[in-house]
Structure 1
Amino acid sequence: MAEAGEAVTLRGELSGLFRSALSSAFPAAEEQPIIASCNNPQFGDYQCNNAMGLFGKLKGKEGAPKNPREVATAIVSGLPDNSTIADTSLAGPGFINCKVSSDYLAARINALMQQGVSTLAPPLRYKRVVVDFSSPNVAKEMHVGHLRSTIIGDTIANTLEFCGADVVRLNHIGDWGTQFGMLIEHMAELRPGGLAESRDEDVADLQQLYRAAKKRFDDEADFKSGDEECIAAWQRICDASRREFEAIYSRLGVTLQERGESFYNPMLKDVVEELREKGVAEVSDGATCVFVEGCEVPLIVQKSDGGYGYASTDMAAIKQRVTQEKADWVIYVTDIGQAPHFDMVFAAARRAGWLPEKGSAQPPRVSHVGFGLVLGEDGKKFKTRSGDVVRLVELLDEAKARCKDSVKQRREESGDPVDEAELEAAAKAMGYGAVKYADLKNSRLTNYKFSFDAMLELKGTPHRRHQFVLEHARERELAMAIVQFPEAVEDMLEELTPNRLTDYLYGLSETFSSFYTDCKVLGGEQEDSRLILVEATARIMRQCFKLLGITPLYRI
């Protein structure tokens, strides 16, 4: 993921040292270092795991080592002089354990304090990145299912920006299609003033109208619309939805640039013609299709009646993003069920020459970030008692209300004064932050059970607990955890999995808790150096919260 900045991470520095060692000990092997954290810190901090694989490659050749441990010994002998590794040891058949120098850790902490957290950001080879996320549908209220796309996409965008990328945050809203024609037709017939009746639309009303219109569309063959005269009504519908979306995004602290399906309408005809001319698309049963090897159904880029669907829009969008936006990387954040669709879109774009061949290291790169469902505590799809999908605004209201009650109770029990403005701010930060963390801490690839009680439980939640020499073992553990922050960022962007950041944040808070329990900070001989560790931890935690889109809470 990093371009030339491996040395930003400790793991990268070790990779560089062992690359030199491998080149020195076995120059003909052209072996890349395999560096991982040690499972047991008792044996070391990191491990080089090349010996066994390299032994297999060299076996049978003249002068080859007799066993993997000989390979490991030769690698260690080839390490250049450095101030990073304090000690090495061999384990098992040839694992090389490394203990990082305490002086090195102290120097990294000092650099963090003097230069700031931003200097720890791993550089990217991708300079301009489009992140397509959230993507609700016009005329429908945002529900809990939109939460995952919104906050996963926001975290990815935040992290890319932290690493220096120019990020275009796109909200590919569903604002065009047959459904709007049927909704507008139903509105025209239902209201006394027809479409000429001027009013500010309400999304809740529109959703009820949409359901009624959908039923009529399914039941009545002559119920069709789509006339150009309906554009004004369509615009009112979009404006109403836009107001609701923006209210939700404001509460979540998420910024997006709206670019709905309608934006690509003028491009659809030319895109389909280009696909035909290049032999990527062909006519089948009257429809224009792209057949992708290994896929049972084709990608339909133009229907048999001449109309266009979301596949047409997605093809136009990917072309526009790589040719006009000049994106080096395009990331789509949707539910995992759409993965087969995007596989076909990406394959068609490669055949059209808009993307490099699959597996190529050359930009532009495309990634689909799929995620699982939000389930209720019963393991079924998260719904209200009446069986409706949970509205996102209701989820946020409930989280805020519960946190407000919790904070108020704690302050009353402790005898602290209750300031309503401060209480409101704390409830928002705690409630919305808890909703985000409860989601992001899970692997995005799996479904997860949502529980208000578990979400608001204070125990085990890092959001709510919160001349330099490393002498105590706990000091060293904490310094190591702080220095490993860039690796968490690097891993998150490599896999596009926000839980890499939440796992790191949780581990850092646990390590800090152990340090704070075992090491006296104020009033001891090591007060100055330990205060530096405390401040360094706080800076890293604040940066983690910023990447996750969570407002830190300094007092409960």
Structure 2
Amino acid sequence: MNIQALLNDKVAAAMVAAGAPEGTPAAVRQSARPEFGDYQANGVMGAAKRMGQNPRAFAETLLGHLDLGDMADKVEIAGPGFINIHLKADWLAVQAEQALSDDHLAVTRPAPQKVVVDYSSPNLAKEMHVGHLRSTIIGDAVVRTLEFLGHQVVRQNHVGDWGTQFGMLLAYLEKLKAEGKDQAAMELSDLEVFYRAAKQCFDESPDFATRARELVVKLQGGDEDCLKMWREFNEISLSHCHEVYQKLNVSLTRNDVMGESAYNADLAQVVADLDQQGLLVEDQGAKCVFLDEFKNKDGSILPIIIQKADGGYLYATTDLAAMRHRDRVLKADRALYFVDQRQALHFKQVFALAHKAGFVRDELSLEHMGFGTMNGEDGRPFKTRSGGTVKLIDLLVEAEDKAYQLVKERNSDFDEAELREIAHAVGIGAVKYADLSKHRSSDYIFSFDAMLSFEGNTAPYMLYAYTRVASIFRKAGIEAQSLAAPLVLAEPQEKALAQKLLQFEETIDSVVREGAPHYLCLYLFELAGLFSGFYEACPILSAEDQGVRDSRLKLAHLTARTLKLGLDLLGIKTLERM
């Protein structure tokens, strides 16, 4: 049940019946304050202005065509033309009962789409660092929510397994062999050192850098010796990536890896097709596309470089091939890209070019879901104390260690195994929730103290809120399925809680529409707060009337199920006690 969508449809139909043109937006929103009702229709003033009518007069006419008798006990005009809608407690109770009886909480499933989601996408041949966290967990939360709504999701881990960095690594290995050093056995920790040493040679030696670029071209051309070592680098890196995914409770698997190299065979064809359409222009030896809509302040057009002068390809070439694959082979309806906000111009350019060149259908929605940076408490990009890049696995281990100390101090009744289980859920959940609760386009400050707090919109608070609700049934020895009395919303706190529970669908619709899990975090936080208010004002187990007790237990059970489902969609494991 999406109450907002239902009201929106009803008010929009009444506006048309009152004389507004078809498609006039009703602009129904949840009311910001209780005295303005439960929902508010804000589209009247805009419609009246376009029609040259008095807004209040148009609102009066509209109300004559608006029948909400089954779901609202009061509909009133406020101010210059707002329409305030007060929902019936009895109607909300019926909807809550339906949510309770349904495995999916009565969430409406829209017409299914095939959605390709490009997320995580670490560069191989080195360890994942904190810069990969946001793409990985924001993308995964949206993927989980899309699948819950019944969409067919194709995960695409577009790993960086091609390009200059691999030429650099191959050139360094070649150098070591020429010096007689044996690098046959490589552990991942050695590969990190190996990468840094190769990068230093690349930065300091022009001859080495030239050789690295030559080896990139050989690799892209299918040279078997290059490919053999490339596969070894990738295998080591992917093993590490999937250890991190497992610890993060991220749903990516090896089968979801579709790296840059997967499109290598199509890159020359991409260039040929663009050339055939007259889109390619040679500029200083490189092959470029110039689109008029992308101009600098001085009026010059920003190029999209498709092929370098030395024959090498770039991100744009690979992305165009990937889009063509996602359209023609995967038959996607939407393609979502969870990539750093700093790549916004790149994606605007390649999306525009993909459509202009006919590489994708007009109907395919290409969407860049950009995100901001994770910064240290000094407001700068998160680094180690020595100024180096923070390995993601090290960050997660530290989060678990800090959570372990916190939980042990708060409750010493748990045995060691339980403490470790709780510490894992709290520590990893804290890192994920602190990120997911921020709007993805915003930068945010990483702080263990803030994210591990049991106060505010944090994972520890949310995990505790769930265990608190779940414990009601455990302490009472009652099975939720045994509750026979009808759900009745007699008190204001009961109605407010039920209404928030029934806004779950509105929330997850926003998550998948905008690729923004922070909506779900805020919803769960507000839900937990409303439950606390309900719990304080409305005695549950001590209620004198069994019917009242059972009704309130039903509300508690629906709250627990909603909290658990919401946290699961965020990829956060819940606990039954902590």
**TM-score, shorter chain, exceeding 0.5:** yes
Distance in 2, matches of 1:50 and 1:216, equals: 63
Question: Could you tell me whether the CA contact under 8 Å between 1:134 and 1:150 is conserved in 2?
Answer: yes
1:326 and 2:331 equivalent? yes
* TM-score normalised by structure 1 residue count: 0.92
Question: Could you tell me whether the CA contact under 8 Å between 2:75 and 2:85 is conserved in 1?
Answer: yes
Q: Which moved more, 1:263-272 or 1:30-39?
A: 30-39
Distance in 2, matches of 1:501 and 1:122, equals: 17
1:74 and 2:61 equivalent? yes
1:97 and 2:84 equivalent? yes
Q: CA 1:485 to 1:439, structure 2 compared with 1: closer, same or farther past 3 Å?
A: same
1:374 maps to what in 2? 374
Distance in 2, matches of 1:193 and 1:479, equals: 73
Q: Tell me how far 1:213 sits from its aligned partner.
A: 1.6
Distance in 2, matches of 1:521 and 1:81, equals: 32
Of 491, 497, 502 in structure 2, the residue corresponding to residue 478 of structure 1 is 497
1:5 maps to what in 2? none
* Counterpart secondary structure, 2:368: strand
* Counterpart secondary structure, 1:331: strand
1:202 maps to what in 2? 187
2:247 maps to what in 1? 251
Letter in 1 for 2:529: E
Distance in 2, matches of 1:30 and 1:167, equals: 31
Distance in 2, matches of 1:30 and 1:399, equals: 50
Q: Tell me how far 1:444 sits from its aligned partner.
A: 0.9
1:410 maps to what in 2? 410
* Counterpart secondary structure, 2:577: coil
Letter in 1 for 2:128: M
Q: CA 1:423 to 1:290, structure 2 compared with 1: closer, same or farther past 3 Å?
A: same
1:303 and 2:308 equivalent? yes
Of 530, 535, 542 in structure 2, the residue corresponding to residue 516 of structure 1 is 535
1:388 and 2:388 equivalent? yes
Distance in 2, matches of 1:247 and 1:193, equals: 34
Q: Tell me how far 1:108 sits from its aligned partner.
A: 1.0
1:540 and 2:545 equivalent? no
Question: Could you tell me whether the CA contact under 8 Å between 2:70 and 2:91 is conserved in 1?
Answer: yes
Deviations 1:109-163 (A, max 9, x none): 1111112225314415x51111001111111211111110100000111111111
1:271 maps to what in 2? 270
Q: Tell me how far 1:268 sits from its aligned partner.
A: 0.4
2:31 maps to what in 1? 38
Distance in 2, matches of 1:425 and 1:30, equals: 53
Q: Which moved more, 1:432-441 or 1:110-119?
A: 110-119
Distance in 2, matches of 1:310 and 1:552, equals: 39
* Counterpart secondary structure, 2:159: coil
Question: Could you tell me whether the CA contact under 8 Å between 1:122 and 1:489 is conserved in 2?
Answer: no
Q: Tell me how far 1:197 sits from its aligned partner.
A: 5.6
* Counterpart secondary structure, 2:120: coil
1:232 and 2:228 equivalent? yes
**RMSD, aligned CA:** 1.8
Letter in 1 for 2:513: E
Question: Could you tell me whether the CA contact under 8 Å between 1:188 and 1:194 is conserved in 2?
Answer: no
Deviations 1:368-409 (A, max 9, x none): 011111111121221111111211111101110111111122
Q: CA 1:17 to 1:23, structure 2 compared with 1: closer, same or farther past 3 Å?
A: same
* Counterpart secondary structure, 1:443: coil
Distance in 2, matches of 1:92 and 1:494, equals: 31
Q: Which moved more, 1:383-392 or 1:341-350?
A: 383-392
1:431 and 2:427 equivalent? yes
Question: Could you tell me whether the CA contact under 8 Å between 1:117 and 1:539 is conserved in 2?
Answer: no
Q: Tell me how far 1:27 sits from its aligned partner.
A: 5.5
Q: CA 1:118 to 1:353, structure 2 compared with 1: closer, same or farther past 3 Å?
A: farther
1:151 maps to what in 2? 137
Q: Tell me how far 1:189 sits from its aligned partner.
A: 2.8
Letter in 1 for 2:553: L
Distance in 2, matches of 1:445 and 1:115, equals: 35
Of 35, 40, 53 in structure 2, the residue corresponding to residue 47 of structure 1 is 40
2:93 maps to what in 1? 106
Distance in 1, matches of 2:47 and 2:202, equals: 66
* Counterpart secondary structure, 1:388: coil
Q: Tell me how far 1:193 sits from its aligned partner.
A: 9.3
* Counterpart secondary structure, 1:465: helix
2:176 maps to what in 1? 190
Question: Could you tell me whether the CA contact under 8 Å between 2:260 and 2:318 is conserved in 1?
Answer: yes
Distance in 1, matches of 2:181 and 2:269, equals: 32
1:120 and 2:125 equivalent? no
Deviations 1:153-208 (A, max 9, x none): 00111111111111111111111112212212212332589698642x22332222
Distance in 1, matches of 2:68 and 2:518, equals: 37
Q: Tell me how far 1:84 sits from its aligned partner.
A: 1.4
Distance in 2, matches of 1:333 and 1:29, equals: 36
2:197 maps to what in 1? 212
Gap regions ≥5 residues in structure 2? 297-301, 467-485
Q: Tell me how far 1:81 sits from its aligned partner.
A: 5.4
2:475 maps to what in 1? none
Distance in 2, matches of 1:171 and 1:194, equals: 37
Deviations 1:67-90 (A, max 9, x none): 211111111111135411221111
Of 74, 80, 87 in structure 2, the residue corresponding to residue 87 of structure 1 is 74
Q: Tell me how far 1:527 sits from its aligned partner.
A: 0.4
Q: Which moved more, 1:46-55 or 1:426-435?
A: 46-55
Distance in 1, matches of 2:428 and 2:108, equals: 26
Q: Tell me how far 1:23 sits from its aligned partner.
A: 2.3
* Counterpart secondary structure, 1:159: helix
Q: CA 1:244 to 1:81, structure 2 compared with 1: closer, same or farther past 3 Å?
A: closer
Q: Tell me how far 1:307 sits from its aligned partner.
A: 1.4
Q: CA 1:98 to 1:131, structure 2 compared with 1: closer, same or farther past 3 Å?
A: same
Distance in 2, matches of 1:151 and 1:107, equals: 36
Q: Which moved more, 1:314-323 or 1:21-30?
A: 21-30
Question: Could you tell me whether the CA contact under 8 Å between 1:132 and 1:170 is conserved in 2?
Answer: yes
1:26 and 2:19 equivalent? yes
Letter in 2 for 1:105: L
Q: Tell me how far 1:58 sits from its aligned partner.
A: 2.2
Distance in 2, matches of 1:235 and 1:196, equals: 18
Q: CA 1:42 to 1:219, structure 2 compared with 1: closer, same or farther past 3 Å?
A: same
* TM-score normalised by structure 2 residue count: 0.89
1:135 and 2:157 equivalent? no
Deviations 1:9-63 (A, max 9, x none): 001111122122112221656523220111111220001112211221222xxxx
Q: Which moved more, 1:279-288 or 1:394-403?
A: 279-288
1:280 maps to what in 2? 279
Distance in 1, matches of 2:503 and 2:497, equals: 10
* Counterpart secondary structure, 2:411: helix
Distance in 1, matches of 2:234 and 2:23, equals: 58
* Counterpart secondary structure, 2:162: coil
Distance in 2, matches of 1:247 and 1:273, equals: 40
Of 162, 165, 173 in structure 2, the residue corresponding to residue 176 of structure 1 is 162
Question: Could you tell me whether the CA contact under 8 Å between 1:121 and 1:489 is conserved in 2?
Answer: no
Distance in 2, matches of 1:273 and 1:119, equals: 51
Letter in 1 for 2:552: R
Distance in 2, matches of 1:139 and 1:34, equals: 50
Letter in 2 for 1:424: R
Identity of aligned residues (%): 42
Distance in 1, matches of 2:500 and 2:395, equals: 34
Question: Could you tell me whether the CA contact under 8 Å between 2:115 and 2:153 is conserved in 1?
Answer: yes
Of 517, 526, 535 in structure 2, the residue corresponding to residue 507 of structure 1 is 526
Question: Could you tell me whether the CA contact under 8 Å between 2:26 and 2:44 is conserved in 1?
Answer: no
Query: 1:331-350 alignment to 2 at 5 Å?
Result: 331-350=336-355
Q: Tell me how far 1:218 sits from its aligned partner.
A: 3.2
